[in-house]
Structure 1
Amino acid sequence: MATTTGRTSPAMSMKLLVDAKAGRVLFAEAGKDVVDFLFSLLALPVGTAVRLLGRRSVPGSASDLYASVQRLDAAAYLLPGADIGALLRPAVPSSIPLLCLPGPQPRPRLRPPRAQLRDGRERSCPTCAKPMTKKMYWARSDSGGSGQAAVSAATGRAKGFVQGVVTYTVTDNLTVTPMSAISSISLLNTFLVRDLSALQEKILRIGYKEGLAILKASLQSKTVLTDVFLAHKAPRPAA
């Protein structure tokens, strides 16, 4: 079973051009956020892909390799200090917030009533000797997202990979190019579209669920957008 996040993921949207007769997506019109997400999939560690999608959903042998690491007796076979978490739980790059997994749970701290918080394990406060009964939580100062945003704000540089003033064309097999009227007409000719009345526009939102589906389909299919966004895939006419 795929891993789920415990928080709301940022949603994106893009416009699909669908050939209703053929039951396929011809191409999509997408902005910077969608293209940055698609490009960022290339930086996703294999171990994270297995963890996100679930072992049974990953084609090939990567899932079996992942299971091998899980079953290995760490005490007997791993080098001292080897970071097994880097293999089983590699971090999602900060450029893919849509697929971010929950981080480690914060460690609880106890504090006494009306006493200064102390980072210790005593059951009583070393200052006032009163029982430490209330749980407090702290987060590491170097933990992810907000730091990235601050760096971006400090440097004045936009995050991601592509310019935000351009609209991009994304084809069914995830080929990405800058969009223009000429390129759109060329694509229609490539797909041998003759009946323009059969073309439909659909504006779709991409959240965590759709992001996982795109990741999975990109590893298995050349018709990613059709597979993910069309509920019933009509049979293609013979060439």
Structure 2
Amino acid sequence: MATEKVSLKLLVNKSNRTVLFAEAGKDFVDFLFHFLALPVGTVIQLLTKTGMVGSLGNLYGSIEKLNDVYIEPSKKDILLKPKAPSCVSEIPLILPETSSDSTPKTYYRCSYRSYSNCSNYVAEDPSAQCPQCNNSMNHPITLVKSLAGNPAAAAASAAESNSKVGFVHGVVTYMVMDDLEVKPMSTISSINLLTQFNVKEIRHLEEKVVSLGMDEGIKLLRTSFHSKKVLTDVFLDDEEIMIK
């Protein structure tokens, strides 16, 4: 289970206790964007224990209760523990770990190998039969990538992969609105927002730095399904902010 924290800087209007926007880096924006890549079953799995709006939780629960007489066990896991895209597993999530298709695949070769041609075949299923001798192909083998013998190329590839982790570029600061609209941060856009929200006195504004961990992450995901003021509901719901 992930334990990482993400910092977020909020600009709060103390007069009505709302978040105007958040100043966020790549880590938080990647976290928000990966919501859209999560399978529905994974979202329900995350939110069922804390409550969720609608009836999908009941559908999920009914599948959990069905025994093997009524549903194929392997198909049950596909519904209850769906695999998320590999790009999701690359993000330093602050949600509980979920299934991902990033698990390395296991391949198999013929276990008998009485003929030299047996080594020409490889299978993904250990119950497959060797086309040459008809014996089971259940001997696991390791896939060796071309970069394995070239440390310099492997290091360069790893560096390039790290720079491309997630969805957005890390050199940009982002503005995340209370309703989770995301846009690049700029001084002009910030000033325009103050006019848009009818902020007449700077003393009514407060900068607040918050940490987003697993509990806040799940709350943010849940709140995003029914609220247009997500950041306010998640970070200011239990607080009182007084105008000085």
TM over 0.5, shorter chain = yes
The question of 1:90 aligning with 2:86 is answered no
Structure-2 residue corresponding to 1:220:
226
Alignment partner of 2:54 out of 55, 60, 65:
60
Corresponding residue pairs, total: 182
RMSD: 2.5
Alignment partner of 2:28 out of 20, 23, 34:
34
| C-alpha contact (below 8 Å) 2:21/2:178 kept by paired residues | yes
User: In the superposition, relative to structure 1, how do residues 154 and 167 fare at CA in structure 2: closer, same or farther (>3 Å)?
Assistant: closer
The residue type equivalent to 2:165 in the other structure is K
Once the two structures are superposed, residues 62-82 of structure 1 have per-residue CA deviations (whole angstroms, 9 ceiling, x without a partner) of 10110121122332x325x64
Structure-2 residue corresponding to 1:12:
6
Once the two structures are superposed, residues 183-217 of structure 1 have per-residue CA deviations (whole angstroms, 9 ceiling, x without a partner) of 11111111111121010000111111111111011
User: In the superposition, relative to structure 1, how do residues 190 and 152 fare at CA in structure 2: closer, same or farther (>3 Å)?
Assistant: farther
TM-score normalised by L of structure 1: 0.69
Once the two structures are superposed, residues 107-128 of structure 1 have per-residue CA deviations (whole angstroms, 9 ceiling, x without a partner) of xxxxxxxxxxxxxxxxxxxxxx
The residue type equivalent to 1:19 in the other structure is N
Once the two structures are superposed, residues 4-35 of structure 1 have per-residue CA deviations (whole angstroms, 9 ceiling, x without a partner) of x4xx5111111000001101000000000000
| C-alpha contact (below 8 Å) 1:66/1:88 kept by paired residues | yes
Identity of aligned residues (%): 46
| C-alpha contact (below 8 Å) 1:55/1:63 kept by paired residues | no
What 5-or-longer segments of structure 2 have no aligned partner?
A: 100-141, 144-154
- Please identify runs of 4+ aligned residues in structure 1 that moved more than 6 A: none
TM-score normalised by L of structure 2: 0.67
Partner SS for 1:99: coil
| C-alpha contact (below 8 Å) 1:17/1:200 kept by paired residues | yes
- Once the two structures are TM-superposed, the CA of residue 89 in structure 1 deviates from its matched residue by 2.0
